[in-house]
Amino acid sequence: MQIRYAGFTMEQVLPLILAILLIFLLPMIMRRNGWDFDDFMRALVGGLWKKGKYDPKAKEKAAAKKREPHLSNGGKGEMMELLSSLITFARRHDFGIVYPGTLAHGSEVATLLALLVTKSEVVGINCFGYGGTITAGKGDADWKQHMNEQDIMIKSPVVLCRKQQRLCRQAMDAAGLKDVSVRVAGVFTNHHVTLAIGNGYGLYTTESLIEELKVQASAEEERIPDPQKVAEQLAAVTKKIRPGRK
């Protein structure tokens, strides 16, 4: 004998009850778990309702773990691009330029790409080819290069530039250029580098260096009447370095 409810059998009533429950409960379940309809269907079909087996944010996590593009450190080509830009810049502004900037003092030699003589100072160009993201260390501690999903410790570019500036200052003093100011700018020539270091380090990308030099050229105080003459004096104390055998 079949049990009837208001003229309906249990087989007819049960699907209606389940449908009503789904209409009201399903939206609540989806909102509580942060699911969209696609997430719900994958859970339903895959049978992953047990806690810990289904992650509705799996798509976001997969995107976050997407492999970083493969990068490499720069080489001579990017340095030559920078040198070409500096030569053009010097000609346009009637500045002096000496390259390479291998000023010698005693047994030590400054290994700079070039020396740019503006109307106010000598700017030594110290190049770094690191790619990826560069972050600063504390004080004189090593810095960090993040590239290709790896963290690599590198010598502080600030410390290296400080040494180059000391050598330049000593060589210029010995050459009778004590009254000429000199600073060394560290330039990251790699096209795929991000300097996550803020301001105040005296470090640049190729683009930011050229932009700063343009601003400086339009506003600097003239303290070097003849940049070409100073460049000649600097060239006289540079040391020719023979390339090593490969």
Binning pLDDT at 50, 70 and 90, where does residue 246 land? very low
* pLDDT confidence of residue 206: 96
State the average pLDDT over residues 193-221: 93
In this model, does residue 243 exceed pLDDT 60?
no
Task: Render pLDDT for 148-189 as a digit per residue (tens, 0 to 9).
Answer: 999 999 999 999 999 999 999 999 999 999 999 999 999 999
Name which of 84, 108, 110 is nearest 97 in CA terms: 84
Binning pLDDT at 50, 70 and 90, where does residue 14 land? confident
Taking the whole predicted model, whether its pTM rises above 0.85 is answered as: no
Binning pLDDT at 50, 70 and 90, where does residue 70 land? confident
Q: How far is CA 224 from CA 52, 75, 170, 181, 220, in A?
A: 72, 33, 19, 9, 11
Task: Render pLDDT for 18-60 as a digit per residue (tens, 0 to 9).
Answer: 777 667 776 777 667 666 666 666 666 555 544 445 555 565 6
Domain ranges of the chain: 4-64, 76-236
Q: Say if CB 217 and CB 118 are below 8 A apart.
A: yes
State the average pLDDT over residues 53-73: 66
Mean pLDDT score of the chain, rounded to an integer? 85
Report residue 2: phi and psi, to 5°.
-85, 140
Q: How far is CA 88 from CA 97, 107, 163, in A?
A: 10, 32, 28
Task: Render pLDDT for 109-134 as a digit per residue (tens, 0 to 9).
Answer: 999 999 999 999 999 999 999 999 99
Q: How far is CA 191 from CA 88, 132, 173, 187, 233, in A?
A: 20, 9, 36, 11, 33
User: How many angstroms separate the CA atoms of 182 and 234, rounded?
Assistant: 12
* pLDDT confidence of residue 35: 65
Q: Report the CATH fold assignment for 76-236.
A: Trna Endonuclease; Chain: A, domain 1 (3.40.1350)
* pLDDT confidence of residue 199: 85
What would the DSSP string read from start to end of the chain? ---EETTEEHHHHHHHHHHHHHHHHHHHHHHHHT--HHHHHHHHHHT--STTT--TTHHHHHHHTPPPPP-----HHHHHHHHHHHHHHHHHHT-EEESSB-BEETTEE--BSEEEE-SS-EEEEEEE---EEEE--STTSPEEEEETTEEEEE--HHHHHHHHHHHHHHHHHHTT-TTS-EEEEEEE--TTEEETT-SSS-EEEHHHHHHHHHHHHHH-----S-HHHHHHHHHHTB---PPPP-
State the average pLDDT over residues 87-108: 94
